[in-house]
Structure formats: structure tokens, C-alpha cells
């Protein structure tokens, strides 16, 4: 959800407003007043999206958009054009130049954010309908369901993600820290012990379909999901 956005807008006031609200929404913002500088920034690192003013000193926004569209490296970056209300033909040429959407000034920060969200979502590859199946347990991310023998296992969001990760990386041992990074997200400050709790919740839910044995503890290392059962001698 949080993305890196390049804002190309010469009016300081609008520039300020946009940057502020984008940052407020957890996005990372780079901003410039003209196309030339924007180009430099893009050369450094590709943003996830470009907010481009239609009227710019020097190279116009439309021309800049077209340029981005022509270069292989930048042609897939979503572009949202900022146009002045008045003339409709601007919108037309704006979109023709390759923009994914446009927002007419004046606009509310809220609207801008909604548009950004929509464009980013549209660009994101349709979540592949991936279905994983291991040891008689089946997880379908499209329908967001986990079943075993036709019986559904009800899981909370975190347990679902955790199981998803374990299933797509089965047979391997994952330390608690690794799980926190992969399942909770990078740089999240949560106790290692919390993983235990979620593993516990996951196992409990799997007990209902007799599949709790799939989640195994590897003492001193972490956890592992494995179809091969852990046999305790004894």
C-alpha cells in the first residue's frame, strides 16, 4: 500500500499540499518543479507512480509522459495527470499521452489518494489464483479458504498468512525472526514469542481437521511445516 511517488508540480502551494497528504498516507515522496529534474530522479530510482502536472515550465507534462512511455525502463510506471479544471481537451490529450488517470484541480487530498490507490491496484498483477496443497491441507488464496477433507478451517488474518507462508515454503525450518519478517513484514517490532502464540492458534485451528501435526517445532531453530510426520521415539 505504501508506495514511492514522484510529484512533478511547479506551483509551490499545490506541491506542498500534495506532498503533505501523500506522506500522511505513508507514501514516500520525491518532488520537483520540472520535467528535467524529474528525469534525474527517475534515473536514480524508479518510483511506483508519477503525479504529473499538465502545465509545466520547460517540457510540458504531456511530453514528459510520452517520453516516459517510450523508454523501456519507465514505460510501465503509472502516471496520474493533474489538469486544470477548465478545458476538457486537456484531459483528452493528457490521457492520450499515456497517463493512467487524471485529477482535475482543485481536488481534495482524499480524492487524490483514492485515485492513486486505484491506479496502483490496477497495475498490480491480479493476485494469482494460487492454490497450495500439502499433506491433505489445501489453501486457496483467491477464495481465502483453508480446507481439509472438504471441511473448512477458520483462521484469523495472521494465522492465514502464516500458514500460507509455511505452505509455500514447506519442509524448511524458519526461525521466529524469519517468520516475523516474512509474515508480519519487515521492520515490524514484535516479540519473537508472539510467533509461538500464533503457531499455537494455527495448530488449534488445524486440530479440528486433524492436521495440527503438520506444523512442527524444531527445538532451538524454529518451526517447519511438513507432510512427513515427526515421529517421536518412545
Partner DNA sequence: AAACAGTATTGCGGTTTTGTGACATTTGCA
Partner DNA sequence: TGCAAATGTCACAAAACCGCAATACTGTTT
Query: Residue 149, interface with its own copies (CB under 8 A)?
Result: no
Query: Residue 193, interface with DNA (CB under 7 A)?
Result: yes
Binders of its own copies in range 175-194 (CB under 8 A): 177-178, 181, 187, 189
Of the residues 131, 190, 227, 230, which one makes contact with DNA according to CB under 7 A: 190
Name the minimum Å distance from CB 220 to DNA. Answer: 5
Query: Residue 204, interface with its own copies (CB under 8 A)?
Result: no
Cβ neighbours of 136 (radius 10 Å): 13
Compute the radius of gyration of the chain from its Cα atoms. 24
Binds 77: which of its own copies, DNA, none (CB < 5-8 Å by kind):
none
3-class SS of residue 34: coil
Binds 164: which of its own copies, DNA, none (CB < 5-8 Å by kind):
none
Judged by CB, which is closer to DNA: 40, or 193? 193
Interior CA angle at 124 toward 119 and 125, to 5°? Answer: 140
Name the minimum Å distance from CB 100 to DNA. Answer: 22
Which long-range CB contacts under 8 A does 55-59 form with residues at least 24 apart? 55/10, 55/84, 56/8, 56/10, 57/10, 57/33, 58/34, 59/34, 59/35
- State yes or no: cis peptide before 50, omega within 30 of 0: no
Q: Is the distance from CB of 9 to CB of 18 less than 8 angstroms? A: yes
Binders of DNA in range 145-174 (CB under 7 A): 156-159
Q: Is the distance from CB of 169 to CB of 186 less than 8 angstroms? A: no
Query: Residue 125, interface with DNA (CB under 7 A)?
Result: no
Of the residues 172, 185, 196, 197, which one makes contact with its own copies according to CB under 8 A: 172
Number of residues that bind its own copies (CB under 8 A): 59
CA distance 98 to 75: 9
Environment class of 2 (CB within 10 Å of its CB; exposed 0-12, middle 13-18, buried 19+): exposed
* Cα-Cα end-to-end distance for the chain: 50
Q: Is the distance from CB of 62 to CB of 37 less than 8 angstroms? A: no
Judged by CB, which is closer to DNA: 87, or 207? 207
Name the minimum Å distance from CB 57 to DNA. Answer: 27
Site string for its own copies, 40-79 (x = CB under 8 A): x--x-----------------------x--xxxxx-----
Rule CB under 7 A: which residues touch DNA?
Answer: 156-159, 184, 188-191, 193-194, 196-201, 203-204, 217-222, 232
Amino acid at each position: 500500500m505504501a508506495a514511492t511517488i514522484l510529484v512533478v508540480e511547479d506551483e509551490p502551494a499545490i506541491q506542498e499540499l500534495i506532498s503533505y497528504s501523500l506522506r500522511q498516507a505513508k507514501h514516500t515522496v520525491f518532488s520537483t518543479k520540472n520535467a528535467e529534474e524529474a528525469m534525474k530522479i527517475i534515473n536514480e530510482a524508479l518510483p511506483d507512480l508519477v503525479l504529473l502536472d499538465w502545465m509545466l515550465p520547460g517540457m510540458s507534462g504531456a511530453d514528459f509522459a510520452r517520453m516516459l512511455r517510450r523508454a523501456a525502463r519507465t514505460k510501465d510506471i503509472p502516471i496520474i495527470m493533474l489538469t486544470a479544471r477548465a478545458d476538457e481537451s486537456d484531459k483528452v490529450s493528457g490521457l492520450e499521452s499515456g497517463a493512467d488517470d487524471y485529477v482535475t484541480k482543485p481536488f481534495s487530498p482524499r480524492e487524490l489518494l483514492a485515485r492513486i490507490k486505484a491506479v496502483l491496484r490496477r497495475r498490480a498483477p491480479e493476485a494469482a489464483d494460487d492454490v497450495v496443497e500439502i499433506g491433505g491441507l489445501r489453501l486457496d488464496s483467491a477464495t481465502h479458504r483453508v480446507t481439509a477433507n472438504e471441511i473448512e478451517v477458520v483462521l484469523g488474518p495472521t494465522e492465514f498468512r502464516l500458514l500460507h507462508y509455511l505452505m509455500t515454503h514447506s519442509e524448511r525450518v524458519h526461525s521466529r525472526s524469519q517468520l516475523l519478517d516474512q509474515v508480519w513484514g519487515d521492520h515490524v517490532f514484535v516479540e519473537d514469542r508472539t510467533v509461538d502464540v500464533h503457531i499455537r492458534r494455527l495448530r488449534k485451528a488445524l486440530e479440528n481437521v486433524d492436521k495440527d501435526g503438520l506444523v512442527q517445532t524444531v527445538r532451538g531453530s524454529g518451526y517447519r511445516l511438513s507432510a512427513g510426520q515427526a515421529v517421536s521415539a518412545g
